[in-house]
C-alpha cells in the first residue's frame, strides 16, 4: 500500500515516515522536509518553520548569515533566528536592524 504522507518514500502504519523521497530530508520530528537545514518543517514538508542552529529563516528556507546578508536590506537576527529587515534608512546592515553598513542613497545619509 502506498504511503499517504507527502514527501515520504516509506512509512510505518501510515503515520511514521521511515525514509524520505529524493530531495527531502528528515527534520527533528522525522517529517520529510525539502530543506536539509530545517529543524521543523510543515506537515506537508514543503515549508520550513524553524531552522537548525546556525541558520536563519527567510521565505521558509534556511540560510547562513552570509546568505542572509546577500539579500539587500536583510540581516541575520540571532535573537529570533530570522533573516530580518534592516531599518528603513539602511541599504545593508549587520547584527541589528539599525547597525547600517550602507545607507539608502535617497535618504541623503552617510555612515
Phi and psi at 68, nearest 5°, equal -60, -45
Q: Is the pTM of this model over 0.85?
A: no
pLDDT of residue 59: 94
In 10 A of CB 19, how many CB atoms? 12
CA distance 46 to 41: 7
CA distance 64 to 44: 24
CA distance 19 to 37: 17
> What is the residue-level pLDDT of the chain in tens, covering all 111 positions?
677 777 888 888 877 788 888 888 888 877 888 899 999 988 777 789 999 999 999 999 999 999 998 888 899 999 999 999 998 888 888 888 888 888 877 655 555
pLDDT of residue 62: 95
pLDDT of residue 38: 92
C-alpha 45, offset from chain centre: 13
Amino acid at each position: 500500500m502506498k504511503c499517504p504522507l507527502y514527501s515520504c518514500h516509506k512509512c510505518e502504519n501510515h503515520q511514521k515516515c521511515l525514509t524520505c523521497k529524493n530531495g527531502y530530508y528528515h527534520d527533528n520530528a522525522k517529517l520529510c522536509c525539502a530543506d536539509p537545514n530545517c529543524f521543523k518543517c510543515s506537515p506537508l514538508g514543503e515549508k520550513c518553520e524553524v531552522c537548525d542552529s546556525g541558520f536563519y529563516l527567510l521565505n521558509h528556507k534556511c540560510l547562513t548569515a552570509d546568505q542572509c546578508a546577500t539579500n539587500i536590506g536583510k540581516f541575520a537576527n540571532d535573537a529570533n533566528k530570522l533573516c530580518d529587515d534592516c531599518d528603513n534608512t539602511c541599504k545593508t546592515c549587520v547584527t541589528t536592524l539599525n547597525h547600517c553598513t550602507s545607507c539608502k542613497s535617497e535618504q541623503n545619509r552617510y555612515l
